[in-house]
Structure 1
Amino acid sequence: MSISWADSYVGQLRALAGDRTLMFVGARAVVRDNAARVLLIRRSDNGQWALPAGAMELGESIADCAVREVREETGLRALRVCAFALYTGPDFTSTNMYGHTYQVFTTAFRVEEWDGELTRMTDETTDAGFFPPQELPTPLSGSVVETLADLDVFEQTNRLILK
């Protein structure tokens, strides 16, 4: 059961902070199947295909955030995750479709083990599916290609990506 945006930590903070730029701490997850296809969700708010992702809530770790977001957006249970990239710099500041500006601090995780049945529609998604990395659907969130490229580098070097 997911909480509403207004009841979330970021939603409550936005209500207090008004228009100023906020720091947004979140996680995104790369889930792959046995055929090395990547799981993408189609977001209900903007229609873009994206990796499962979202904001960390008070009282949870960033890894727990990734696990929760995968569950909320796909129905799958992430059993084991590994952080491979941190996106933290000023280049990750943007204004969303609601006019809210955030500097995002995102940790990207590789889901190393998962189980369950894929739920294609949730409160936050209108579709979900596994896609070959060379045949990703459109419109595609800007973070997907960069995250998958960074995962390739991590898997070749075993070094955390810091941006």
Structure 2
Amino acid sequence: MSRRTDYYNDPDAPPATRIVPGAQVLITDQSGRVLLQRRADSGNWSAPGGVMDIGETLAETAVREVKEETGLDVEITGLLGLYTDPRHVIAYADGEVRQEFVVAFTGRPIGGQLEISDESTELRWVPITETDDLPMHQTARLRLQHLAEGRLTPHLG
């Protein structure tokens, strides 16, 4: 059973009660593949990331979350964008409902060893052109699209 349900532009979605800053890293390898994780809480594929802790920068959050969720050490290489669309809300099993607030970075692996955490059921390096058949929320697809476009300026939305 899902512990998290994503809603997008859904009139039946519960109203958001919180905004929690989060970071995500779209990590690419030397072949241009992106690292995706299959989330244990929803079954959807996405880039690794998580919420900011007091006392750290958002970039530090991004690096820490990648390490916790994948076992990899990463270097942040850029800013993909700010994803704060109020039409995207995430409802959790405990009743909390968050409005999307993700700062997405680009990054590259610099060490560590790929390992599944309790937050994911699978990790996979995937060519961006081969992600269409993976179950994924449309906001995750948007970030992959922005990565594939090689934008010179970050998305602000």
TM-score, length basis structure 1: 0.77
Cα offset for 1:37? 0.9
Q: What's the CA shift string for 1:61-106, capped at 9, x where partnerless?
A: 1101110111011100012332220012322334345442111221
Task: List gaps (5 residues or longer) in structure 2.
Answer: 1-14
Cα offset for 1:133? 1.1
Q: Is 1:73–2:69 an aligned residue pair?
A: yes
> What percentage of residue pairs aligned between the two structures are identical?
35
In the alignment, which of 144, 147, 154 is matched to residue 148 of structure 1? 144
Kept in 1, the 8 Å contact 2:25–2:49? The answer is: yes
Aligned residue in 1 for 2:155:
161
Cα offset for 1:140? 2.0
Equivalent residue letter for 2:45:
W
Kept in 2, the 8 Å contact 1:80–1:113? The answer is: no
Kept in 2, the 8 Å contact 1:82–1:112? The answer is: no
Aligned residue in 2 for 1:46:
42
SS in 2 for 1:67: helix
Aligned alpha-carbon RMSD (Å): 2.0
Task: List gaps (5 residues or longer) in structure 1.
Answer: 1-18
Q: Structure 1 or 2: larger strand share? A: 2
SS in 2 for 1:47: coil
CA distance in 2, matches of 1:47, 1:113: 24
Aligned residue in 1 for 2:118:
123
Equivalent residue letter for 2:156:
L
Q: What's the CA shift string for 1:112-149, capped at 9, x where partnerless?
A: 45322211x21211110101112225322333210011
Task: Tell which has more relative contact order, 1 or 2 (C-alpha 8 A, sep 6+).
Answer: 2
CA distance in 2, matches of 1:41, 1:85: 20
Equivalent residue letter for 1:133:
I
Kept in 2, the 8 Å contact 1:79–1:115? The answer is: no
TM-score, length basis structure 2: 0.80
CA distance in 2, matches of 1:91, 1:151: 22
Kept in 2, the 8 Å contact 1:81–1:113? The answer is: no
CA distance in 2, matches of 1:125, 1:93: 21
Kept in 1, the 8 Å contact 2:23–2:105? The answer is: yes
Equivalent residue letter for 1:123:
D
CA distance in 1, matches of 2:33, 2:59: 22
